[in-house]
Amino acid sequence: MSVQKITDAEWKVMHVVWNHQRISANDVIAEVVPETGWSPNTVRTLLIRLVEKGILHVEKERGKEKEYLNSVYTPLFSREECESVHSRSFLERVFGGDTSRLLAHFVQDGDLTPEQVKELKKQLDKFKK
């Protein structure tokens, strides 16, 4: 039962945590609040829930400037691990497990740049053999 479900709102904060690997509540808030308009407390609640879910680790640390005691978070699973788990369940749920239909869909809907198309084809070639 590793990697519990991450909800929509939680993904937002997870991405920020992954980008820093180790980040204080306040710094998460500083990034998330402007782009979501959420209250700082909302972000804190999400961080706490992620800890409860065993997805983040938290410890206390004194701030550098001011010596307030801060909560600092670190991810317990890599972004890739979580993406993987959630991708699989999405594939199953929405496309009934049919990867190639899913891929076709995203290719058509994804206006890729020529670069990206090329890169992807290279990937595909590697799997050919």
Contact residues for a copy of itself, defined by CB under 8 A: 8, 11, 15, 80, 82-84, 86-88, 90-91, 93-96, 99-100, 102-112, 114, 116-117, 119-121, 123-124, 127-128
* Rounded Cα distance, 44 and 97, in Å: 35
Minimal distance, residue 68 CB to DNA, in Å: 4
69 forms beta bridges with 62
* Rounded Cα distance, 78 and 18, in Å: 7
Minimal distance, residue 52 CB to a copy of itself, in Å: 20
Q: Which does 45 bind (CB under 5 to 8 A by kind): DNA, a copy of itself, none?
A: DNA
72 forms beta bridges with 24, 59
